[in-house]
């Protein structure tokens, strides 16, 4: 068996069924190994960055590992931004990089870079296969490493001669992926502190969704009647129409949500990493709060804040165990009094959060669509299980405020900040769930960075719907220039082509929208179509962030 074939077989044995790649000279042997393979789906992108974003979207939508491939040097470096984004997103993407042959390595050969050294700072593991007989060991170890504990990307560098070498291989057996579980005394201490609080709050992040623990979170929150705030860009962790949901924390949050966290005397943070945006630049939670942190790895417990109680556990088992402890250890009489003492405050806060989602007044400038109206129209036209993929930028504040996520796993967003994520990630998500609708909501700046992937969507007949919020500027940058630099706007405004017409040139469908009443009919047509669609929506450039942010 050739080394390249052994790599493919090793990936298949670990459950990989999709490979996203751009061809290059040092991975042609891997392409050839996929030629006759009926179990692997090869998706060829138009840029390496698109390939890694597609793999990320596929993995996050499906819960299964996927692979992206690129050739040495420039191809590898083009993937770097996507690998970093997957690292920040805790996404277990497996990256294969073709490398120059070992007979000419370390001579500054054509397009040669040190792949392991380049990717090591923002991967969970980076390795080069230096002996062909170790292919099964190292490939299978890499896929498992990406998924065990905190999921994160891994990079495998494969020299050309290793791919071409004839080798007798034996494959490692299948294994379970163990999950840590909390000690009972820590869980009892956490519940005791929670029920002793005047106003406890749960801060829930993507670790809950990754663990499939969203229903367990609802059960625990309902039993103790504790309000829930999601971390930034993770609104789908808890049903948004639930009376205990008080919105998303961080950048663009409604003031009432931030006030809720500031008022809390105990915060149970589960499955979150306290990002800069969730914590509004590390100003929240406030210093006097008693913080209980549940993280799948010990390193995550005190990276930003030191908790009074730190628990290493998978979010799913932790929530089930916490509920069991609450049901058996909390005196029922005192417990009912405690819940009623906070009932009115929670209800009033929820009403205030709901009020922030009302359509802003004074909108409707001729020739433009207000962002709130756009997001509400998407909500009206989309089924509850529709997957929403967002891009980076201030547009996410509008999605977080006005879109009501009711099912887990329906929001995929680049909290790592990589522009250009939305379109290719939506392609990957659509391939993971061909029977569901996928809508990418992206800015015009980000769309211009990756619009070549519309050809990929057309070529594979992936009916993703792309909603471009077109305001002819890098809105987040312009907003900062207006607010922090005295309105001295420079370098953040530009011209755009007609994106709808451009989509049609690719072979997709396109609609240009400049009136609110056009949104829903155009979206309905797009969702019923079997081809990709671009909705080019004119957004008022003077509108920045949602009100009461």
pLDDT digits (tens, 9 = 90+) for 354-379: 888 888 776 767 889 999 999 999 99
- DSSP state letters, 286-342: -TTSEEEEEESSGGGTSSS---SEEEE--HHHHHHHHHHHHHHHS-HHHHHHHHHHH
Question: What distance in Å separates the CA atoms of residue 333 and residue 348, rounded to the nearest whole number?
Answer: 25
Question: What distance in Å separates the CA atoms of residue 127 and residue 115, rounded to the nearest whole number?
Answer: 8
Which tokens hold the place of 217? 């979170």
The pLDDT, as a whole number, for residue 329 is 75
Which tokens hold the place of 206? 């993507």
For residue 545, pLDDT over 80 is answered with no
By C-alpha distance, which of 421, 400, 174, 195 is closest to 290? 195
For residue 108, pLDDT over 90 is answered with no
Q: What is the pLDDT of residues 111-168, one digit of tens each?
A: 889 999 999 999 999 999 999 999 999 999 999 999 999 999 999 999 999 999 998 8
Long-range pairs, 476-479, Cβ under 8 A, ≥24 = 476/393, 476/394, 478/541, 478/544, 479/394, 479/544, 479/545
Output the pTM of the full model: 0.94
Class of domain 184-355: alpha beta
Beta strands in 444-521 (DSSP E): 465-470, 509-513
Where do the structural domains in the chain lie, given as residue ranges?
Answer: 3-164, 184-355, 371-538
Please state whether the peptide bond connecting residue 74 to the residue before it is cis, i.e. omega within 30 degrees of 0: no
For residue 288, pLDDT over 90 is answered with no
The pLDDT, as a whole number, for residue 372 is 92
Question: What distance in Å separates the CA atoms of residue 69 and residue 95, rounded to the nearest whole number?
Answer: 6
The CB-side HSE value for 121 (13 A sphere, CA atoms) comes to 5
- Answer whether CATH 3.40.50.9100 is correct for domain 3-164: no
The pLDDT, as a whole number, for residue 10 is 95
Find out whether 263 and 198 touch, Cβ atoms under 8 Å.
no
The packing angle between helices 395-402 and 371-381, to 10°, is 50
Query: Is it true that 3-164 and 184-355 share their CATH fold?
Result: yes
Backbone angles phi, psi at 383, to 5 degrees: -70, 160
Which pLDDT band, with edges at 50, 70 and 90, does 549 fall under? low
Find out whether 225 and 339 touch, Cβ atoms under 8 Å.
yes
User: Is residue 509 helix, strand or coil?
Assistant: strand
Find out whether 411 and 425 touch, Cβ atoms under 8 Å.
no
Question: What distance in Å separates the CA atoms of residue 449 and residue 468, rounded to the nearest whole number?
Answer: 13
450 to each of 72, 332, 427, 432, how far by Cα in Å?
21, 57, 12, 20
Which tokens hold the place of 314? 């998978």
Assigned CATH topology for domain 371-538: Rossmann fold (3.40.50)
The pLDDT, as a whole number, for residue 479 is 86
Cβ burial of 32 (10 Å; 0-12, 13-18, 19+) is: middle
- The DSSP bridge partners found for residue 99 are 159
Give the H/E segment covering residue 390: strand 387-390
Other Cβ atoms less than 10 A from the Cβ of 290: the count is 18
By C-alpha distance, which of 231, 234, 244, 237 is closest to 280? 231
DSSP letter for 19, please.
E
- Unique residue bearing structure tokens 């998706």: 43
- The DSSP bridge partners found for residue 294 are 270, 311
Which tokens hold the place of 56? 């990320």
Which tokens hold the place of 444? 């015009």
Q: What is the pLDDT of residues 386-439, one digit of tens each?
A: 999 999 988 888 998 899 999 999 999 997 889 999 999 999 999 999 999 999
Question: What distance in Å separates the CA atoms of residue 534 and residue 231, rounded to the nearest whole number?
Answer: 30
Q: What is the pLDDT of residues 313-342, one digit of tens each?
A: 999 999 999 999 998 876 655 667 777 778
Among 62-66, 361-365, 506-510, which range has the highest average pLDDT?
506-510
Which pLDDT band, with edges at 50, 70 and 90, does 202 fall under? very high
The pLDDT, as a whole number, for residue 362 is 65
């Amino acid at each position: 068996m050739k080394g390249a074939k052994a790599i493919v077989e090793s990936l298949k044995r670990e459950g990989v069924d999709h490979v996203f790649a751009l061809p290059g000279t040092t991975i042609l042997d891997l392409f050839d190994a996929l030629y006759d393979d009926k179990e692997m789906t090869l998706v060829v992108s138009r840029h390496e960055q698109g390939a890694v974003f597609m793999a990320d979207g596929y993995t996050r939508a499906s819960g299964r590992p996927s692979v992206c491939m690129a050739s040495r040097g420039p191809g590898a470096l083009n993937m770097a931004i996507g690998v970093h984004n997957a690292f920040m997103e805790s996404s277990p993407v497996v990256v294969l990089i073709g490398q120059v042959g070992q007979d000419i390595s370390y001579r500054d050969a054509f397009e040669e870079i040190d792949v392991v050294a380049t990717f090591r700072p923002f991967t969970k593991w980076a390795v080069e296969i230096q002996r062909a007989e170790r292919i099964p060991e190292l490939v299978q170890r890499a896929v498992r490493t990406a998924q065990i504990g905190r999921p994160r990307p891994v990079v495998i560098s494969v020299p050309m001669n290793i791919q071409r070498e004839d080798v007798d291989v034996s494959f490692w057996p299948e294994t379970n992926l163990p999950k840590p579980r909390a000690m009972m005394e820590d869980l009892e201490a956490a519940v005791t502190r929670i029920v002793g609080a005047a106003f406890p709050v749960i801060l829930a992040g993507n670790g809950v969704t990754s663990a499939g623990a969203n229903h367990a979170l609802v059960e625990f929150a309902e039993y103790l009647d504790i309000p829930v705030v999601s971390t930034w860009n993770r609104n789908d962790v808890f049903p948004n129409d639930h009376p205990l949901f008080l919105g998303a924390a961080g950048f663009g949050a409604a003031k009432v949500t931030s006030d809720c966290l500031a008022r809390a005397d105990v915060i149970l943070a589960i499955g979150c990493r306290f990002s800069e945006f969730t914590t509004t630049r590390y100003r929240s939670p406030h210093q006097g709060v008693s913080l209980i942190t549940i993280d799948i790895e010990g390193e995550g417990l005190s990276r930003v804040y030191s908790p009074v109680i730190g628990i290493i556990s998978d979010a799913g088992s932790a929530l089930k165990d916490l509920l069991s402890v609450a049901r058996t250890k909390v005196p029922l009489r005192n417990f009912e009094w405690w819940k009623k003492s906070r009932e009115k405050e929670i209800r009033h806060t929820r009403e205030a959060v709901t009020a922030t989602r009302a359509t802003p007044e004074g909108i409707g400038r001729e020739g433009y669509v207000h962002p709130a109206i756009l997001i509400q129209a998407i909500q009206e036209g989309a089924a509850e299980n529709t997957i929403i993929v967002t891009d980076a930028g201030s547009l996410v504040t509008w999605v977080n405020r006005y879109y009501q996520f009711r099912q887990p796993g329906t929001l995929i967003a680049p909290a790592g900040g990589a522009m250009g994520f939305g379109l290719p990630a939506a392609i990957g998500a659509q391939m993971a769930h061909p029977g569901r609708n996928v809508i990418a909501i992206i800015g015009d700046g980000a769309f211009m960075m990756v619009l070549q992937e519309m050809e990929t969507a057309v070529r594979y007949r992936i009916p993703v719907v792309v909603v471009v919020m077109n305001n002819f500027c890098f809105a987040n940058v312009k907003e900062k220039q207006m607010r922090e630099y005295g309105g001295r706007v420079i370098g953040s405004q530009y011209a755009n082509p007609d994106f709808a017409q451009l989509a049609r040139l690719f072979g997709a469908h396109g609609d240009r929208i400049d009136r609110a009443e056009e949104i829903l009919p155009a979206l309905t047509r797009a969702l019923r179509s079997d081809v990709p669609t671009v909705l080019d929506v004119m957004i008022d450039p003077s509108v920045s962030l949602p009100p009461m942010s």
